[in-house]
Each structure stands twice: as C-alpha cells, then as structure tokens.
Structure 1
Amino acid sequence: MSADTAEGTVTTVSSNGSYSFTKPNRDSIMLLAGLGVEGDVHAGVTVKHRSRVAKDPTVPNLRQVHLIHAELFDDVAGAGFEVTPGDLGENVTTRGIDLLGLPTGTRLHLGAEAVVEVTGLRNPCAQIDAFCHGLLKQVLGRDENGQVVRKAGIMSVVLAGGEVRPGDPIRVELPAEPHRPLEMV
C-alpha cells in the first residue's frame, strides 16, 4: 500500500478552551478552515502558543491542529510511562499512519469533510517533563548520526472544515515530489 492510499483511524479527539498542557477528550471536534479547532485555545490565524506569541504575535499559526500517533503511547508504555490521548495536548490522536514519516505539505482527510495540511513537527518542550518526569527523553532523542529526533507529533493547518470523531477514517494525500521532510514548527 502506498502512502497515497494509506488509511488510518482517528482514535480520539481533544480540545481545551483555556491554556492547559492536557486537553480533555471530546465526542467530536469541529475543524474551522484557516483557524483550527473550534473553541480550542490554539485556534486562530496567528500564533496562539504563549512562547510564540511573546516572540511575535503576528506570525501565521502553523500549529492550528496537533496530531499524535497512538503508537507513541504504546512505545512510552514499554518504558514505564502511562500516557493517554489528550495528555500531551494534541487535538487528534491517530492509529495506523506513520505521522512522523510524512512529508511537509501532506494532506490528511479526516472523516467525511475535514482536511488538514501538515506543516511540521511539534517541538517537545520542558512541559512534558513537568507533566511526567523523564517523559521528555522518550519523545525527544537522537538518531545514530546524532540528529535530533522529535516524536511528539505533528502540526497542521485546516484547509477544509468539518466535524471529526473517534473512529473516523484518515486518508493520506501526499504532495507533489520532491518531498520535503518535516522540520520543527
């Protein structure tokens, strides 16, 4: 199966209207084109993450929707950490797609209508260790060449709005080649 036909599943959706590291799970979320998750503190045309707003509040928001692969939770459980959907602040938890291996510009069709475009990798921060001491080392490491490996999910912008629910299918649409690897956003 090629990535153009790869399908995964939405396992959980989460949002929070106030600044908090974790996000409560919901029955559904509504994605709004050009903004993000309706009612979520990180929704907006310009950056909403506090550290980024402090630097320059006029920068475009490339972090409207945060996705994490449920397989990450399986991996960290093997190291003794209990992490569940929403705990790391993601909006959409997926299963069955190698999110970290997608190129920049990949479109993910979530459910019947919603489409997000992958903008880059989430940069794991110290808040992860504040949530659970030692977890940061599980989601931020180095490969055999000494290059930093970020495993805490990907960020995206909403191209087409729509409701997203647990159990919804995800269809991957790769961008035209040459593909650009994900970088931190």
Structure 2
Amino acid sequence: MIKTGIFSGSFNPIHIGHLALANWLCEMGELDEVWFLVTPQSPLKKKADLLDDHFRLHLVEKAIGSYTKFKACDIEFSLPRPLYTINTLAALTKQYPEHQFQLIIGADNWHIIDRWKDSEKLLTTYPVLVYPRMNYPITIPAAYPLVKNADAPLIEISSTFIREGIRQNKDLRFFLPQAIFEDIQTIKNSLNR
C-alpha cells in the first residue's frame, strides 16, 4: 500500500508553509507522498476572498513542480455539494484502492473535529496526522488509535497573512514558491474584485 497523505485545503494561495510541512511529512515522516487536495469551499468557511477554484489548482500544480512525492488533486471539483471530508476520503479510497489515505489536519482543526460531518466514523476509519499550530495543544484520546501527532515543525504562515500582504503591495517573494510568484498580479487582481 502507498501511504498517501491527503492535505486538504483551500490553498488560497499555496505558500511555503504548506510545501515545507508536506515535504517534512514525506522526507522525515512516514508518508510516501502527499496529495494537495484543493477544496472548492469548506462548509465551515465563508466564500469571501476565495480565489477561483481552477486558478488555485493551477497555483498548486506550479508550486509542486516536478517533485514526485507531491500531487495536486481536484477530486472535490466533481463531488456532490456540500463537500465533507468523510465523503471525499471514501471516494478516494474507492478510486485508488492501492493507496492508504491518511488525512493531514492542523491542530486548530483537531480542536473542532467534533463539528465535522461523521467525525466519529472518520476518526475510527481513516488514519489522521495532526500537525502543530500555535496555541493549539495536541491531545489525542486513546479511543482514536488511528490518530497521530505528526510531530512536525511549527510553521506559522497563513494564506490570510499572504493575501493581506499582497493587498498591501508587500513583497512576499520569500513566503511564496518561486514558481507562482509570477502569478502575484493575477492573485492581487482577484483579491481586489
């Protein structure tokens, strides 16, 4: 079985924090690969400031480049709405039976996992890796043996910070992958609509 981490998010836009974490999980952790699953819209988030779905996917594809352990995934673009992680993981498992999918979530999401659809089933069916976020201690009850602390380095960069910096004409070239920095004007124009 191929151990495949599912790093689901809006990637609005993708930044070096996303890539560094995924790289660490592949090279220092136990994953064979990480799929960046671009989600059209989380049921727990507002649509405001969300860049176009296909543009965000394009940015992810450019950012990961030729690194063979990363893949951009758009499966949620074709799944029925509203989108729920439990349904996405089931669809992935059915479509790719040779993969053991492991959900990658931040400690901030771990703290609200009970608000996710069918969270109990999710936590007892699929392996989950929880990565650290500032001010969110990770405590995993023994009842969830499939959930692990990813024990990855703390990387506190957010897409919100990136978007705000772009709006303020800040030069954020070192926070964004070099490959997508040339798209900064398109990002800025999209954010200022």
- Using CA pairs under 8 Å that are at least 6 residues apart, name the structure with larger relative contact order, 1 or 2: 1
Q: Does the pair score TM above 0.5?
A: no
Give the TM-score normalised by the residue count of structure 1: 0.30
TM-score (norm 2): 0.30
Name the larger-Rg structure: 2
